[in-house]
Amino acid sequence: MGIVVVSNRVARAKADEPMTGGLAAALLPAVSESGAIWVGASGRTRDACGKEPLVEVEALGKGALATLDLPTEHYRGYYEGFANGALWPALHSRPDLIAASPQDYASYREVNCHMARALLRFCRADATLWVQDYHFLPLGAELRKLGVSLPIGFFLHTPMPGRDAMVAVPHHRELIEAMLAYDLIGFQTIDSQRNFESYLRRELGLAAIGAALPGATLTGTTAAGAAVTASTGATSVRSRHGETQLGTFPITIDTELFASRATKAAARPEVSRLRSSLQGGKLVVGVDRVDYSKGIANRLRGFGHLLESEPALRRNVTLMQVAVPSRGDIPAYKALKAEIAGLVSDVNGRFGEPDWVPIRYLAKGYAQTTLAGFYRTAHVGLVTPFADGMNLVAKEYVAAQNPFDPGVLVLSEFAGAARELDAALLVNPHDTAAIGAAIGTALRMSLEERIARWQAMMKVLRATSVQLWFADFVRTLDDSAYMALPVVSQVPTVPAVGSRGAEAPVVRFERH
């Protein structure tokens, strides 16, 4: 059967439709070309009491897309309550914004159980399961309870924060301990991996062993014989579940595909109108979901600071911020939306003219091809999150540039992408004056320096691809799990859908 990928959100291969979230955008080309089955939520809910999880399957490139409805009773507590009301703020070092009830945690665990039961139909002898992101931290443990002895890996797309932020999450020890049922846990950066190892040592008394020096790599080949460069900093930890490998796997994009999109997008109506509307002026672009981790408010303040400190740039530069609405029912997001609206109004009111608006604020999503055209048009790409696992917008902006006249990337030093794209102008996203100064530097940068910086970043992007990232993780997972031998005293039964009931016996895994 091959690879089964599991995530909360899935995507379909429709180039002219907006795509929300870096996870879906990154996984789509890898899944569709690998022949994997991608399992995730349908976006609908249903009364799940006493019913088997209903899975709908459709073709996706060489593979398939399988979606299921999540239980109505538990969806809100799972998604808005615990996943995005407790885990998301903690993972982005904002424990002050944690707001989740005991019922939210119960719903989070119940949805993980629901997903585990749905996955049983895909758990054939030759399957490898790869679980994505914070929505499903305990999913591996739930699958083990159901007797699944297949290789199961997990990749955290967000940052892993320091211990002080993580311990603020209700039931944090239970969740992290459950994660050790995975054979392999992957992180975006070595910093996140080390934070996880520190948590294990200080909270669970578990030491990671076999640490490689930063920059060390594992190497191998794909089934087709292509060379693969594996993760850095590989370590392992032993727990009651057995041995779990830890590694760093920086996610990336399909660079050549995105560059091709950008070239073709120049003729799209939206891109042509944008270019004409600038009337010879320069464009700064930002593209984000509306989220407190993205630093949008400080970005707007930084642009206002630039216009205040350099009056000559007024009427000659425009910031276009694409801000896709997100999680609007959560109080912290409602407050952020109001704050951003106030800042846009303030900057435009202070510096705008009848024929020039400093900030164009677009509260909607755009197709990947259109965004590629926006990036190629922009003289500056502004990516300034307070915390981000990777941030693929930064990589997409670089890939979209005209090789003979590239723009400049201004990038937060707290984005995972900064570890690779160090030829960008790196800034502290908390320093609004520094953001403004960096934009000014980018706008004045010589063509020679712009080309040199762009070439350095493209060299990094062309050294790998999202397809190689995908193959690397799966190969490492298979290597980590091939000695996993389940030891059970009885054959577990699948509990009735919609009710935890009596727990299936815990499966103990011995890994040698």
Give the contacts of 32 (CB within 8 A, at least 6 positions apart).
13, 60, 61, 62, 63
Taking the mean position of all CA atoms in its chain, how far away is CA 327?
16
Alpha-carbon span 512 to 506, nearest angstrom: 19
Identify any residues that bridge with 55 across adjacent strands, giving them in sequence order. Answer: 68
Residue 329, SS3?
Answer: coil
Alpha-carbon span 217 to 229, nearest angstrom: 7
Torsion of CA 458, 461, 467, 470, to 10 degrees: -170
Taking the mean position of all CA atoms in its chain, how far away is CA 419?
16
50 — alpha (psi -120 to 50), left (phi > 0) or beta?
left
Q: With contact defined as beta carbons under 8 Å apart, do 204 and 462 qualify? A: no
Q: With contact defined as beta carbons under 8 Å apart, do 95 and 168 qualify? A: yes
Q: Cβ atoms within 10 A of the Cβ of 162, count?
A: 14
Q: Where are the alpha helices (DSSP H) in 278-425?
A: 296-309, 331-351, 368-377, 392-399
Residues 157, 172, 241, 379: which is the catalytic one? 157
Alpha-carbon span 202 to 162, nearest angstrom: 11
Give the contacts of 380 (CB within 8 A, at least 6 positions apart).
282, 283, 284, 285, 407, 408, 409, 410, 439, 442, 443
The radius of gyration of the chain from alpha carbons, rounded to an integer in Å, stands at 23
Torsion of CA 57, 158, 98, 101, to 10 degrees: 30
Question: Does 388 qualify as catalytic in the annotation?
Answer: yes
Give the contacts of 333 (CB within 8 A, at least 6 positions apart).
290, 291, 292, 326, 327
Alpha-carbon span 95 to 113, nearest angstrom: 26
Distance set, CA 40 to CA 55, 68, 133, 337, 389 (Å) = 9, 7, 12, 28, 21
Question: Does 422 qualify as catalytic in the annotation?
Answer: no
Strands 484-487, 508-511: parallel, antiparallel or unpaired by DSSP? antiparallel
Q: What is the DSSP letter of 209?
A: B
Quick one: 323 exposed, middle or buried, by C-beta within 10 A (0-12, 13-18, 19+)? buried
Q: Within the chain, what is the greatest distance between any pair of CA atoms?
A: 78
Alpha-carbon span 222 to 333, nearest angstrom: 43
Residues 133, 254, 291, 388: which is the catalytic one? 388
Give the residue numbers marked as catalytic. Answer: 157, 388
